[in-house]
A and B are shown apart, each in its own frame.
Chain A
Amino acid sequence: MPAPDDDPVALPPARRRELLAALSAVLPADALLAEDSELRPYECDGLAVFRERPAAVALPRSEAEVGAVLAVCRRLGVPVVARGAGTGLSGGAMPHAGGVVLGLARLNRILELDPRAGLARVEPGVRNLAISEAAAAHGLYYAPDPSSQIACTIGGNVAENAGGVHCLKYGLTLHNVLGVRGFTVDGEPVAFGGAALDAPGLDLLSLVIGSEGLLAVVTEVTVKLLPRPALARVVMASFDDVGRAGEAVAAILAAGIIPAGLEMMDRRATEAVEPFVRAGYDLGAAAILLAESDGTAEEVEAEVAALERLLRESGATALAVSGSEAERLRFWSGRKNAFPAAGRISPDYYCMDGTIPRRHLGRVLEAIAGLEQRYGLRCMNVFHAGDGNLHPLILFDANVPGEWPRAERFGAAIVELCVELGGTITGEHGVGVEKINSMCVQFGDGERTAFFAVKRAFDPPGLLNPGKLIPTLRRCAEYGRLHVHAGAVPFPDLPRY
């Protein structure tokens, strides 16, 4: 794991006692965890290789309790790490050794669902899918659909600007959240945005979304609800070459079609999921594409016909179109279960999350194949192909000495290659603690300094999720010494550590 910046240490016993006493004065007994056995489940998020034991876990049930916890932590100068469902994949919710985990999962009420206005006002611990379930009775839904949507919370989605397979057409969290309410580090209530489309001043809502719990603690989210499309169908296409599948994606977009979803899986990925979910994937294909069309019956008919034509012209070796809703969901089930499937074929997997300009897809895949050799680990690839967001899943076994460090270096090499090709180290999973070194590759000192300034503008004492997202100068200097910079030599032959 990346070495911490200021080596966070556990609180001295006296300070911890003081903290626990202050917190128990503002929280009911069952809302404060301090025993080792109680703290253990909160040691990590979805990226379990990064772990830390916090001083305490607070599980408030109301906005008022959240404000009170923050006020205590502010007064005592104790760091606070907000946490939703803990499904994050970059260690964003990993505790601070000397800090409090502020779990928001119990704030899980839908405060208002207004079908007339097409809005819902929800607490941060409401699960993503629960919003669409509640809206379904009105023919509405909440569009962003991360694969983790059964479990992840809307507060966590806001903090990570989460996406999903339908964000190509319907946007990310950012495009579907109108406003948030929450607290500053001082425990002062604030609102960013609201049910109106514009608010006076700078667009701070855009900064808060995706800020990984470093700027504010979110206690209420106003989301847009959209009418469910009348119909959706998926076209599944097989390709005998991954590069050609990539060209098919470009051909579809250049033809003026924005499919509701446009996803790719390579053979390793289809082979992993097929025995598990029986989605009906063509295991003879080097890659498959899933392209969804939604809208009115007339619209879908015309778009599916155009998709079939474009896919065939781009060299698809086989095509299948979902003939029923059940079949459509079956086609998607494999894609949505790709991560768990990786966990079935390998003791551990490490999910990467870079984005590239789509035209470089072929090059990246070739490079990943080369890196598999270099690091002696296998990788399966699933992509949000429509928006160039790659999820290479590196397979490893944490019990084999040396495999995790190799997987970690393999992952860093992939995301740093994404930067080199004009992309980014993270499309939707966030930087957290995981990619903090790679931030030094994507950004220079000027940007880093600006990020710290933004952090200070919201959180002057620096107590909200410190040590995440923004690397210090010292860290970048150290990483730079180990690292061959982008552009110089893409794949130096020497091991870097």
Chain B
Amino acid sequence: MAATPDLAAIRDRLADAAARGVPVRIRGGGSKDFLGARLEGEPLDTRDYAGVVDYEPSELVVTARAGTPLATLEALLAASGQCLPCEPPHFGGAPTVGGAVAAGLAGPARAALGGMRDYVLGAKLLTARGELLAFGGRVMKNVAGFDVARLLCGSFGILGLIAEVSLKVLPRPAAAATLAFELGEAAALESFLGWARRPLPVTASAWVDGRAYLRLAGAPAAVAAAGRTLGGSRLGDAEAAVLWAALRDHAHPWLAPRTPLWRLSVPAASAALGLPGTTLIEWGGALRWVRSDAPAATIREAARRAGGSAARWHGAGLAPAHEPLPAPLAAIHRRLKDAFDPDRRFNPGRLVAEL
């Protein structure tokens, strides 16, 4: 049996970087290297710190070290009929569990079943000083102390190295069906809202190239009944699986890594944004991908008017990835960074340009 991995090597790398005064860039599988405001620092690989620490299916909780391949974890869960309901993307690479939590991204199920932060129960954080801090825990309900574990989700490593996480898992749905409807953008948006208002087992939706897709999943009886009332044309199971995986991982040709691609997070009920270019919709209307040559300011303004925000997904050099934060939030961010990583050792500029 291999020795239990420890953090000694990572601590040494951190101490060495500190001694030389250089920043580090925490990196798992590198599947998300293309994301972030800036990508700076010496790579610090987490993949040797791997392995599932605790998994008891009836507890609905799994605990894994940061470097565990996401695919390994998903296969382990699948063997017990369980899954990570938020479908974290792989982007065609070999992401790690730590990277998935640090990025905090979710797949097609986000609107119906929640995002990564909704499934994070606990995390261990390796700080710049080499201290290992444990927040949250391995149980489903826990309100002791501030919820720092969830703060780390989506932090892109700017507060420290997420060394271990505990995640809530759920049973895989027993049945699934994907329906397709020929609809224009406005009609698709209205349909998504209408479906969400009814007690239907919808777990994903998308509108791409003039077609709306709806994924139903859950108990076989519920999926069958919903399928009958909704109509549309049913996709073959294999075709449906390919579609949702391609949307999740951006293997879909529409989402190919060409510039410029914008990601707009807006209230689901927002009308069509009317931006020049083309749009792909996910999450029942809450996520709009926009491929447009319009100036950054135009796109950000459209998102802001709708009550959301825009992030540049591909196209370095065009515009900062995110818009600046409002002053009180920027101050809180700065003070949190000062507290967790006072020497600005971790992932400079990755999440927020000035941190």
CA distance A134 to B322 in the complex (A): 37
Min Cβ gap A57→B in Å is 26
User: Is the CB of A460 closer than 8 A to any CB of chain B?
Assistant: yes
Min Cβ gap B204→A in Å is 14
Stretch from B219-227, B247-255, B290-298 forming part of the interface with A: B219-227
Contact B58 A207 (CB under 8 A): no
User: Is the CB of B172 closer than 8 A to any CB of chain A?
Assistant: yes
Q: Which residues on A sit within 8 Å (CB–CB) of B197?
A: 115-116, 118, 138-140, 227
Contact B332 A457 (CB under 8 A): yes
Contact A428 B143 (CB under 8 A): yes
Known interface pairs A201-B352, A202-B351; A295-B222 also in contact (CB < 8 Å)? yes
User: Is the CB of A341 closer than 8 A to any CB of chain B?
Assistant: no
User: Is the CB of B333 closer than 8 A to any CB of chain A?
Assistant: yes
The residue from A227, A256, A302, A355 contacting B139, defined by CB atoms under 8 A apart: A355
User: Is the CB of B328 closer than 8 A to any CB of chain A?
Assistant: yes
Min Cβ gap B287→A in Å is 7
Contact B267 A196 (CB under 8 A): yes
Q: Which residues on A sit within 8 Å (CB–CB) of B218?
A: 295, 299
| 8 A Cβ contacts from B153-169 to A | 153-155, 158-159
Known interface pairs A202-B155, A447-B133; A161-B143 also in contact (CB < 8 Å)? yes
The residue from A203, A210, A429 contacting B146, defined by CB atoms under 8 A apart: A210
In this complex, the member of B56, B323, B339 whose beta carbon has the largest number of chain A beta carbons within 10 angstroms is B339
The residue from B127, B132, B140, B265 contacting A388, defined by CB atoms under 8 A apart: B140
CA distance A296 to B137 in the complex (A): 34
CA distance A277 to B187 in the complex (A): 50
Q: Which residue of A lies closest to B339 (CB)?
A: A453
Contact B141 A202 (CB under 8 A): no
CA distance A470 to B196 in the complex (A): 41
Min Cβ gap A143→B in Å is 12
Contact B141 A427 (CB under 8 A): yes
Q: Which residues on B sit within 8 Å (CB–CB) of A430?
A: 143
Q: Which residues on A sit within 8 Å (CB–CB) of B139?
A: 355-357, 387-388, 422-424, 427
User: Is the CB of B336 closer than 8 A to any CB of chain A?
Assistant: yes
User: Is the CB of B92 closer than 8 A to any CB of chain A?
Assistant: no
User: Is the CB of A326 closer than 8 A to any CB of chain B?
Assistant: no
CA distance A486 to B279 in the complex (A): 56
Interface residue tally on A, bucketed by range: 35 or more
User: Is the CB of A108 closer than 8 A to any CB of chain B?
Assistant: no
Q: Which residues on B sit within 8 Å (CB–CB) of A494?
A: none
User: Is the CB of B9 closer than 8 A to any CB of chain A?
Assistant: no
Contact A256 B174 (CB under 8 A): yes
Stretch from A14-22, A46-54, A170-178 forming part of the interface with B: A170-178
Min Cβ gap A424→B in Å is 4
Known interface pairs A430-B143, A446-B131; A456-B150 also in contact (CB < 8 Å)? no
User: Is the CB of A369 closer than 8 A to any CB of chain B?
Assistant: no
| 8 A Cβ contacts from A318-371 to B | 355-359
Question: Per-position contact with B for A236-276: 1 when CB-CB < 8 Å, else 0?
Answer: 00000000000000110110111000000000000000000
Contact B269 A355 (CB under 8 A): no
Q: Which residues on A sit within 8 Å (CB–CB) of B170?
A: 258
Question: Per-position contact with A for B196-209: 1 when CB-CB < 8 Å, else 0?
Answer: 11111100000000
The residue from B137, B268, B287, B329 contacting A190, defined by CB atoms under 8 A apart: B329
Q: Which residues on B sit within 8 Å (CB–CB) of A435?
A: 144
CA distance A171 to B118 in the complex (A): 9
Min Cβ gap B36→A in Å is 12
Q: Which residue of A lies closest to B140 (CB)?
A: A387
User: Is the CB of A195 closer than 8 A to any CB of chain B?
Assistant: yes
Known interface pairs A194-B307, A257-B171, A424-B137; A116-B147 also in contact (CB < 8 Å)? no
Known interface pairs A253-B60, A359-B59; A210-B154 also in contact (CB < 8 Å)? no
User: Is the CB of B325 closer than 8 A to any CB of chain A?
Assistant: yes
Number of interface residues of B (CB under 8 A): 86
Question: Per-position contact with B for A133-166: 1 when CB-CB < 8 Å, else 0?
Answer: 0000011100000000000000000001101000
Min Cβ gap B302→A in Å is 13
Min Cβ gap A29→B in Å is 32
| 8 A Cβ contacts from B55-71 to A | 56-61
User: Is the CB of A117 closer than 8 A to any CB of chain B?
Assistant: yes
Question: Per-position contact with A for B226-264: 1 when CB-CB < 8 Å, else 0?
Answer: 100000000000000000000000000000000000000
Q: Which residues on B sit within 8 Å (CB–CB) of A389?
A: 140-141
Min Cβ gap A217→B in Å is 13
Known interface pairs A230-B199, A359-B56; A184-B333 also in contact (CB < 8 Å)? no
Contact B138 A357 (CB under 8 A): yes
Contact A453 B141 (CB under 8 A): no
Q: How many pairs of A and B residues are in contact by the CB < 8 Å rule?
A: 266
| 8 A Cβ contacts from B292-330 to A | 307-309, 311, 322-323, 325-326, 328-329
CA distance A367 to B335 in the complex (A): 44
Contact A439 B115 (CB under 8 A): no
CA distance A82 to B199 in the complex (A): 37
Known interface pairs A198-B265, A200-B309, A427-B141; A451-B146 also in contact (CB < 8 Å)? yes
User: Is the CB of B135 closer than 8 A to any CB of chain A?
Assistant: yes
Q: Which residues on A sit within 8 Å (CB–CB) of B307?
A: 194-196
Known interface pairs A200-B309, A296-B221, A296-B222; A425-B333 also in contact (CB < 8 Å)? no
Q: Which residue of B lies closest to A247 (CB)?
A: B58
Min Cβ gap A1→B in Å is 19
User: Is the CB of B91 closer than 8 A to any CB of chain A?
Assistant: no
User: Is the CB of A24 closer than 8 A to any CB of chain B?
Assistant: no
Known interface pairs A296-B222, A424-B139, A426-B144; A204-B332 also in contact (CB < 8 Å)? yes
Known interface pairs A175-B114, A299-B218; A470-B145 also in contact (CB < 8 Å)? yes
Q: Which residue of B lies closest to A222 (CB)?
A: B267
Q: Which residues on A sit within 8 Å (CB–CB) of B174?
A: 256
User: Is the CB of A375 closer than 8 A to any CB of chain B?
Assistant: no
User: Is the CB of A100 closer than 8 A to any CB of chain B?
Assistant: no
User: Is the CB of B27 closer than 8 A to any CB of chain A?
Assistant: no
Contact A206 B151 (CB under 8 A): yes
Q: Which residue of B lies closest to A172 (CB)?
A: B141
CA distance A320 to B115 in the complex (A): 37
User: Is the CB of B89 closer than 8 A to any CB of chain A?
Assistant: no
Contact B335 A456 (CB under 8 A): yes
CA distance A116 to B138 in the complex (A): 37
The residue from B143, B199, B226 contacting A426, defined by CB atoms under 8 A apart: B143
Q: Which residues on B sit within 8 Å (CB–CB) of A206?
A: 117, 147, 150-151, 153
A117-B269, A451-B148 known, 18 other contacts, Cβ within 8 Å: A194-B267, A195-B307, A197-B115, A201-B329, A206-B117, A209-B147, A211-B146, A227-B200, A253-B59, A256-B171, A299-B218, A389-B140, A424-B137, A424-B139, A446-B127, A453-B336, A457-B339, A469-B145
29 A-B residue pairs with Cβ-Cβ distance under 8 Å, sorted by A, are: A116-B193, A118-B268, A119-B267, A140-B197, A161-B143, A161-B147, A188-B328, A198-B309, A201-B352, A203-B151, A256-B172, A256-B174, A296-B199, A298-B225, A299-B201, A302-B219, A388-B59, A388-B139, A388-B141, A389-B141, A422-B137, A424-B143, A424-B144, A430-B143, A431-B143, A443-B134, A446-B131, A455-B146, A458-B335
* A-B pairs with lowest CB-CB distance, top 10: A453-B339, A298-B221, A256-B171, A117-B269, A206-B150, A196-B308, A457-B335, A427-B141, A195-B267, A387-B140
